Amino acid sequence: MKKIVLLSMVIAILAIAYVYALPTGPSGPIVPISSERLDSWGPQTIPALAGNITEFNTDTSSITRTWQGYFGNISGTIVLGDANNNTLYDWDLAMPQGEIFATRTASVPAWSDVACSTAAELEAEDTAMGITDQSIQEDAINRTFQVLGSPEAQVRYGTTLAHPQFWVADSQVNANTCAIAYMYNATESESQYFREVILSDQASAPIIYAAFTAHTFSTAADVVGFDGGEHDFQMIVAEDGHGTDTATTLYYFYLELE
């Protein structure tokens, strides 16, 4: 299970002559509305009697030490304005389509060089997050995010794993080429409306997590998420909580809406 933070975001996109529109940060501070995690269960009992041997089955859920979860709503506007934020005209986005990006690097990613993360970059992300055995640790980055056609993807997703072609600034990302994961709906099944891929700018940013907004895939006014609530996005980002590591990790968020 994931540590969850609910975010509300507002974004304005400036259209500037002769310059590609770039992903931009939210127009104001991100203020978490709530943060919570899976509660634990108390112990169960079973009697012991000298001379007996007893067979029993049991189950539990353990909190991940690799991932942080985010979900929430996005309000947005497409703006035609100048460098002083004076608006000539704007268009409200009732059902925003596009992506929300998260990276641990403070410097702005080189958006024009963005592409799908490579296998080597995913392995490096595993190492950076304290994952020592990528082949067996189920919540490893390269096992959670999988590429269409890989054996792991076929087992987990069958043939449904897919993402559309999309643009990041002036960089075209071809359909079904990135490592991808589907977040869950209220029935704990992979939701076709909440998809996330992993990107890289091949330089400054080690990894860029990119979640599609739900309205990229749905024309419904409201899309139900993992908790039965209506959300515009759901995403996860890697965070090392292994061993005695209890430090927080700062993520920088950008949005690109259309």
How confident is the model over 9-20, as pLDDT tens digits?
A: 433 333 333 456
Structure tokens at 164: 């559309």
Question: At residue 227, what are phi and psi to the nearest 5 degrees?
Answer: -105, 10
Q: pLDDT tens digit string along 134-190?
A: 667 888 998 899 876 666 665 666 556 789 999 999 999 999 999 999 999 999 988
Q: What are residue 7's DSSP bridge partners? A: 72
pLDDT given for residue 151 in this prediction: 60
Alpha carbons 235 and 239: distance in angstroms, whole number: 13
Q: What pLDDT score was predicted for residue 150?
A: 62
Q: Can you list the residues of the chain whose pLDDT is less than 70?
A: 1-20, 134-135, 148-160, 204-205
User: Do residues 220 and 102 touch, judged by C-beta distance below 8 A?
Assistant: no
What was the pLDDT predicted at 65? 84
pLDDT of residue 97: 94
Show the CA angle centred on residue 186, arms to residues 180 and 189, nearest 5°.
Answer: 45
Annotate 175-198 with b (16+ C-beta within 10 A) or e (fewer).
eeebbbbbbebeeeeebebbbbbb
Structure confidence at residue 198 (pLDDT): 96
- Looking at residue 109, its pLDDT comes to 92
For residue 154, the model assigns a pLDDT of 57
Spatial neighbors of 33 by CB under 8 A, at least 6 apart, are 5, 6, 7, 8, 72
Q: Report the predicted TM-score, pTM, of the whole model to 2 decimal places.
A: 0.84
Q: What is the DSSP string of 189-223?
A: SEEEEEEEEEEE-SSS-S-EEEEE-GGGT--SS--
β strands within 96-164, DSSP E: 98-103, 115-116
Which residues sit opposite 91 in a β-bridge? 78
Dihedral over Cα of 49, 52, 58, 63: its sign = positive
